[in-house]
Amino acid sequence: MPMHKEAKIYVAGHRGLVGSAILRRLRAEGYSNIVTRTRQELDLTDQRAVYQFFEAERPEYVFLAAAKVGGILANSTYPADFIRENLLIQTNVIDAAYRYGVKKLLFLGSSCIYPKFAPQPIKEEYLLTGALEPTNEPYAVAKIAGIKMCQAYNKQYGTNFISVMPTNLYGPGDNFDLETSHVLPALIRKFHEAKVAGAPHVVIWGSGTPRREFLHVDDLANACLFLMNNYDSSEIINIGVGEDLTIAELANLIKEIVGYQGEIVFDTTKPDGTPRKLLDVSKIFNLGWRPRIRLEDGIRSTYEWFVRNYNC
């Protein structure tokens, strides 16, 4: 059953890339009873605080978009933080959702849960059929635990917790820190700063040959609301666009959009990560959902957002 417009909805992680987009979308669609807490107000790794919050607020629906998130370097530098914080946050929120009678919860997984060498495009059924990519294995193991926890609670307690697997995301509100960000915001920043400084070249990590798929976060938010209102299965479901490109192609596209004239240099001492990560999106497409924002348009608007918000 779809959420009614006055339903009490908790968006966990509402200041992040995904949570802020879900909040925008909920407000745009007229949902008026939305609960949020900053990390300062509610640390989701603190079980007691999470139970107290659910007991006091009694949300009917939960979008679980709070997590420890980062790009390839952050994941490989802080594996302990990635597994610990994600296990704690998701365990606390999923368990509290069960204990305090949440009608439906949407858990955000990630495409990195699939085997490193999964056949392409990646179908949902490939989960746990092979070894994971080492640069983000602890994060992926935490996400897989979250999926299994939702499924186990549905089976044992009859809850309605769904798990969605988005591909790589980007958009307004992304993390542009060069040490911890994902590739797309990192390249926007690198090309912009090189243009402003008149630098002769921009360094791209790895060989440029890995392929990635990119989904604008406003499309992702749209998909999350669509699934919250139309999907009631324990089976995981992919969210993507169904097309990918190489990191070198992405770099050239961003270079052109930013208007940078210099060279691109590849630093092959940095990891490539998974060689290819293209999701099979036939399941969500068959339900009637489609992304709307073309990659080039999405990068252009995200670049404009970056320039406005980073004061450069």
Ligand X SMILES: NC(=O)C1=CN([C@@H]2O[C@H](COP(=O)(O)OP(=O)(O)OC[C@H]3O[C@@H](n4cnc5c(N)ncnc54)[C@H](OP(=O)(O)O)[C@@H]3O)[C@@H](O)[C@H]2O)C=CC1
Ligand Y SMILES: C[C@H]1O[C@H](OP(=O)(O)OP(=O)(O)OC[C@H]2O[C@@H](n3cnc4c(=O)[nH]c(N)nc43)[C@H](O)[C@@H]2O)[C@@H](O)[C@@H](O)C1=O
**# binding residues, ligand Y (CB under 6 A):** 25
Detail the DSSP E strand segments found in 36-146.
61-64, 104-108
Q: For ligand X, which is the closer residue by CB, 45 or 199?
A: 45
Q: Which residue is nearest to ligand Y (CB)?
A: 71
Its sign, for the CA torsion 94, 99, 100, 101, is positive
Catalytic residue, chosen from 31, 114, 139, 170, is: 139
Identified binder of ligand Y from the candidate list 8, 14, 212, 283, rule CB under 6 A? 212
Contact between 19 and ligand Y per CB under 6 A: no
Contact between 154 and ligand Y per CB under 6 A: no
Query: Is residue 4 marked as binding?
Result: no
Contact between 272 and ligand Y per CB under 6 A: yes
Which has the closest alpha carbon to 272: 107, 125, 112, 133? 133
Of these partners, ligand X, ligand Y, none, which one is at the site of residue 38 (CB under 5 to 8 Å by kind)?
ligand X
Long-range contacts at 96-101 (CB < 8 A, ≥ 24 apart): 96/50, 96/51, 96/53, 96/54, 97/54, 97/62, 97/159, 97/161, 98/153, 98/157, 98/159, 99/51, 99/54, 100/51, 100/54, 100/55, 100/58, 100/59, 101/58
The DSSP letter of residue 103 is: S
Contact between 75 and ligand Y per CB under 6 A: yes
Which residues contribute to the site for ligand X (CB under 6 A)? 13, 15-19, 38-39, 43-45, 65-69, 89, 108, 110, 166, 168-169, 175, 182
CB of 140 to ligand Y, least distance (A): 6
Interface pattern 78-117 for ligand Y (x via CB under 6 A): --------------------------------x-x-----
Q: Please count the other Cβ atoms lying within 10 Å of the Cβ belonging to residue 150.
A: 26
Contact between 192 and ligand Y per CB under 6 A: no
Contact between 70 and ligand Y per CB under 6 A: yes
The tally of CA atoms less than 13 A away on the side-chain side of residue 276 is 13
Query: Is residue 42 marked as binding?
Result: no
In the residue annotation, 310 being an active-site residue is answered as no
Residues paired with 211 in a beta bridge: 246, 276
Positions marked catalytic: 139
Give the residues lining the site for ligand Y (CB under 6 A). 70-73, 75, 110, 112, 136, 139, 168, 181-183, 186, 204-206, 210, 212, 247, 270-274
